[in-house]
Structure 1
Amino acid sequence: MTTIDIADAFLRSCLAELDALKPGNVHRFAAGHGMEVAHFEAAARAAAPAIARPDERVGTRIETAVAASLGVTGLNTNLGILLLCAPLAAAAERPRPLRAALVETLAALDRQDAAAVFRAIAAANPGGLGRRTEHDVAAPATIGLVEAMQLAAGDDRIARQYTSGFADVFDIGVARLHQLAGAEPQARTEAAYLAFLCAFPDSHIGRKFGRAAAEAVQEEARQLVAGIDWHAPAARRHPPLAAFDAGLKARGLNPGTSADLTVASLFAAALSP
C-alpha cells in the first residue's frame, strides 16, 4: 500500500472507533476521564504522517507519533494505539499478506526500536505504568523491543501482541468485524470492542485498579453482550451500552486497552480488505 493509503486507513480507523459507543471509553456520545473526542481526533491527525512514514523504523514511527500527539493535545490519548498500529503500518509496506508481513516486521525489531519506544512511553507517561527493577522505560534500552515486550506481556495485552504476532487483533478483533460484515459499521466496531472486553481482563483497568476490578468489568461485559443484537438499529443497541458506559465512568474505570485493540483491528482490516 502507498503511504497515503496507510495514513488514510489509520486516520479512518481512529475516527471510526470514536463513532462507536464503547462503554467506559471516550466516544462521540459521551466524554470521560477528563478527555473529549476532539483530543483524540487531533492526536490521530497529528500522528498519521509519522505512523505512515515510508521505510521508517517502527520505534521511530512510535516516538515521532507520540511527540506529535502530545504536541497538539498535551495528553496521552493514543500511546496504545500507536504501539499497535506502527508495526501494522510498516508491515503493510511489504509485498505480501499483512499477517505474514507483520511476523517479518516484528522479527526485525531491535534495541534501537526499543530505545525509541522507551522514550515514547516515558514521554506519554501512561497511568499505572509503575517501575521495573530491570529494563525500565526510564533507563536506556539494553534488549530488543520484542524481548522488552515479552517481559510485560503477562500483565499488558498490548505488549502481548508483539510476542503473539498480534493474535488478539486478528483472531478476536478482525474476526469479529468479518463475522458482522452485514451490520452497521458502528455496530461492528462496538461488537469488536466488547469482544475484547469479554475475552480477557482489560490491562488498563488492571494496571490502575487491580486484576479483580478488571475481572469484574469483564464479567459485566459478558452479561451485557448476551442481550445485544448487533444487527439491531442504534436506538435498540445503545440504551444498555449507554447505561454500562455511565456506570463505568462513574467508577473511573476505562477499558483503554480494549479500545486500543479495537483501533488496531479496524486498521488491520483496512490494510487487508
Structure 2
Amino acid sequence: MSYPLSREVIEAAFIAACHAELRALKPGNVHIHGAGHDMDVSHFERAASAAAPFIADTAYGVGGRILGAVSASMAAAGCNTNLGIVLLTAPLAVAAGAPEGPANLRERLRRVLDGLDLADADQAFRAIVLANPAGLGGAQDGDVSQPPTMTLGAAMALAADRDRIARAYVTGFDDIFSFALPELYAARRIAQNDAMAVTALHMGLLAAFPDSHIARKHGPAAAAAVQKEAQALRPLWAPVPRSETWEALLDLDRSLKARGLNPGTTADFVVATVFADRLIRPRATPGHS
C-alpha cells in the first residue's frame, strides 16, 4: 500500500465499513436483520453519510474530525449513533492521509497518537458532551464537561482501565491490529460471504473483551456476563457462523435487546477494524466487499 491515501479513498472506505457492519448480524446491535434500542439501520446510514466528509477532511486533525463528524451525525440522525466509531476511525483516517510517514499504517497511527495535543482534547471533549453517551458520568481528572488541562492522549490514558476505546489510544489500537484484523482475515478465508465474516468478528470481539458500553450503562458484572454468553455460544459462530446456526444467533440478538443490553463498543471496533482493513487494502470499487 502506498500512502498517503486521498480524501476520496478514505471517505469511501469509511462509508463502506459502516455499511458492512450494518449488513452483518451482530447480536445486540442494530443491523439489517433487526432494529433495537429505539434505533434502526436508517439512523446509522444517515449518520455515516454525514460523518464521512469530516472523517476524511485533511484540513483537520484528529480532534477537529471527531467534533465535525459527531456534530454532523447528531444533526442527521437525531441521536448518538457513532461517537465510538468516530473516536476510533478519526486517528486511522489522519494516519492514512498524512503526507509523510512510514509505509505501515500501524506505525503511521502511532505517530498520530503521539502527536495529540490540548486542542484535540478540547474538540473531542466537546464532541463527547454533544453525543452524551449513556453512563458518561464525571471524573476528577479529564472530565469532558470541563475545559481540558491535558492532551487527548493523556485524557484517554486516565480512562484506559475502564473504557476499551480509551485503551486503544494508549496501546496504539492493539486490539485492532493484533486481534481483530487477524480474526477478520481468518473468517473471510472460509465464510460463505463477507457479512458472515463480520458476524464472526463481532462475536470474537464480544467473547474476548467485556463491552465498555454495557459496563458503563449496566455495570462490569453485566458486561462480563454477556462476554460469557458469547464464549458459551462459540460453536454457533467459530470459526464462522453457518446457515444452520443463524436462528440461534438471532435468538441471542433478540434476548440481548429485550434485556436492554447493547454491545455498542464491540460494534464500534467492528467498524474500525473493517475501516482499517480498507485503508490497508483499498478496494477499486468503494461498495465492494
Shift of 1:229: 5.2
Alpha-carbon contact 1:24-1:255 (below 8 Å) kept: yes
Q: CA deviation at 1:181?
A: 2.7
CA contact (8 A) 1:10 1:48 kept: yes
Cα 1:232–1:259, aligned 2, differ >3 Å: closer, same or farther?
closer
For residue 192 of structure 1, the aligned residue among 182, 201, 211 is 201
Match of 1:172 among 139, 159, 179: 179
Deviation at 1:178, TM superposition (A): 1.1
Residue from 258, 263, 267 that aligns with 1:255: 263
C-alpha separation in 1, matches of 2:24 and 2:201: 10
Mapped partners of 2:145, 2:213: distance in 1: 20
- Is residue 236–residue 249 contact of structure 2 (8 Å, CA) maintained in 1? no
One-letter amino acid of the counterpart of residue 159, structure 1 = A
TM-score, with structure 1 as normaliser: 0.97
Distance 2:201 2:223 in 1: 18
The match for 1:144 is 151
1:206 pairs with 2:215? yes
Q: Which runs of 4+ in 1 moved over 6 A?
A: none
Per the alignment, residue 274 of structure 2 pairs with 266
Alignment partner of 1:236 out of 237, 240, 244: 244
Q: Secondary structure of 2:130's match?
A: helix
CA distance in 1, matches of 2:240, 2:229: 21
> Which shifted more, 166-175 or 9-18?
166-175
Contact 1:80 1:257 in 2 (8 A): yes
Tell whether the 8 Å contact from 1:23 to 1:244 is kept in structure 2 after alignment: yes
How many residues are paired up? Answer: 272
1:52 aligns with one of 34, 53, 56: 56
Instruction: State the Cα distance separating 1:231 from its structure 2 match.
Output: 5.0
Task: Determine if contact 2:200/2:238 at 8 Å carries over to the other structure.
Answer: no
Q: Is the 8 A contact 1:205 1:255 kept in 2?
A: yes
SS state at 1:40 partner: helix
Deviation string for 1:225-267 (max 9, x for gaps)?
Answer: 233355564x324211101001101100000000000000000
Counterpart in the other structure of 1:24: 28
**CA-to-partner distance for each residue in 1:4-23, whole Å, 9 max, x for gaps?**
00000000000000001000
Aligned residues: percent identity? 49
Question: Distance in 2 between the 1:131 and 1:231 partners?
Answer: 40
Output the aligned Cα RMSD: 1.1
Residues 1:67 and 2:71 aligned together: yes
Instruction: Provide structure 2 residue ranges, at least 5 long, that are not aligned to the other structure.
Output: 282-289
Give matches, 1:212-231, under 5 Å.
Answer: 212-228=221-237, 230-231=239-240
Q: Say if 1:172 and 1:195, in contact at 8 Å, map to a contact too.
A: no
TM-score, normalised with respect to structure 2: 0.92
CA distance in 1, matches of 2:176, 2:8: 23
